[in-house]
Amino acid sequence: MIRFLSAFIIISSVLISPIANAKDKIVFYTESYPPFQSQDQQGVFVGFAIDILHAAQPYVDFDIDIQMMPWSRAYYNAQNQPNTFIFSIANTNKRLAHFKWIGDFYTVQDMIYRKSNRPDIQLENISDINRYTLALSRSDAALDRLKLDGNHPHVYLARSQTAALKMLHFDRVDLIYNNEVGFAEDIKKMGYTLSDFTAVLPVVNMPIGISTHKDTDETLANNMRQALHTLKQNGELEKITARWFSPRVIPLVTE
């Protein structure tokens, strides 16, 4: 009897062990892009989107494994690895050919910027950018939104948004493209003065959020999709947004 009980205890402990009940780790690729996501001095992931993923964790059947790297590498990995996710990513028609859209969690206003000491640069519409040189971050949604490609004679692809901003600062290009949140953060990061730059043309109100590989298992995709929907329904997303961003009214921009 004692021998039977000992065997039962051993088998039971194996069945309920953390290893037996461990969840799958699902990779979420991203870049350092404050205030949406970055790492603090201790290497801890922080930011608006990070808080959203932390809030979503109780509602999904897997462990969220955040991996931060340059955007071009994050984009490549997510585009080529099923059952992975990527954030904070803009929703564009071109990207929907490679990804399933999970859901948005914020809307930014995309703008074209010039230096304030270049009043000679005036844009009435998107086609006017063809008269000027433009720096864009490689793999950024701007290429899609502006209907450009990397072979355009006046377009220079930079490794990051801050690299593009540096090109503008040193007059290597006439224009850059960014959203108003990311642009303000990049100005702060580079130690530049915001008033030295001017938004010359609003382009589009851009939803940003989470996507997954087009061949990701639909059950996995729906699990994350439902978790994000729950955060919107129960008010958690609204509370997180209020912690990171001031209330604002986004003007309507049509393409």
**DSSP readout, 197-255?**
EEEEEEEEEEEEEEEEETTS-HHHHHHHHHHHHHHHHSSHHHHHHHHHS----PPP---
Are 196 and 74 found together in one domain?
Answer: no
- Expressed as residue numbers, the domain containing 146 is 109-205
Task: Please indicate, yes or no, if residue 9 is contained in any of the structural domains.
Answer: no
Are 102 and 217 found together in one domain?
Answer: yes
Task: Please indicate, yes or no, if residue 138 is contained in any of the structural domains.
Answer: yes
Closest Cα partner for 207 from 47, 89, 86?
Answer: 89
Phi/psi for 37 (5° steps) reads: -160, 140
Tokens of 213: 């590989």
Tell whether the torsion through CA atoms of 86, 90, 96 and 98 is positive or negative.
negative
Are 51 and 29 found together in one domain?
Answer: yes
Are 86 and 127 found together in one domain?
Answer: no
| Total of domains in the chain | 2
Q: Tell me the β-bridge partners of 207.
A: 107
pLDDT tens for the chain, residues 1 to 255: 555 445 544 445 545 444 445 789 999 999 998 999 999 999 999 999 999 999 999 999 999 999 999 988 999 999 999 999 999 998 888 888 889 999 999 999 999 999 999 999 999 998 899 899 999 987 677 777 787 765 678 899 998 889 999 999 999 999 999 999 989 999 999 999 999 999 999 998 989 999 999 999 999 999 999 999 999 999 999 999 999 998 755 544 544
Are 159 and 183 found together in one domain?
Answer: yes
Task: Please indicate, yes or no, if residue 14 is contained in any of the structural domains.
Answer: no
What is the predicted pLDDT for the residue at 149? 62
Are 197 and 224 found together in one domain?
Answer: no
Are 213 and 95 found together in one domain?
Answer: yes
Tell me the whole-structure pTM to 2 decimals.
Answer: 0.74
Are 113 and 201 found together in one domain?
Answer: yes
What is the predicted pLDDT for the residue at 19? 47
One DSSP character per residue, 151-191 reads: T-TTEEEESSHHHHHHHHHTTS-SEEEEEHHHHHHHHHHHT
Are 140 and 192 found together in one domain?
Answer: yes
The C-alpha atoms of residue 68 and residue 221 are separated, in whole angstroms, by: 21
Task: Please indicate, yes or no, if residue 12 is contained in any of the structural domains.
Answer: no
Task: Count CA within 13 A, CB hemisphere, residue 152.
Answer: 20
Please say whether the beta carbons of 136 and 176 come within 8 A: yes
**Dihedral-angle region of residue 139 (phi above 0 means left; psi in -120 to 50 means alpha; beta otherwise):** left
Are 185 and 71 found together in one domain?
Answer: no
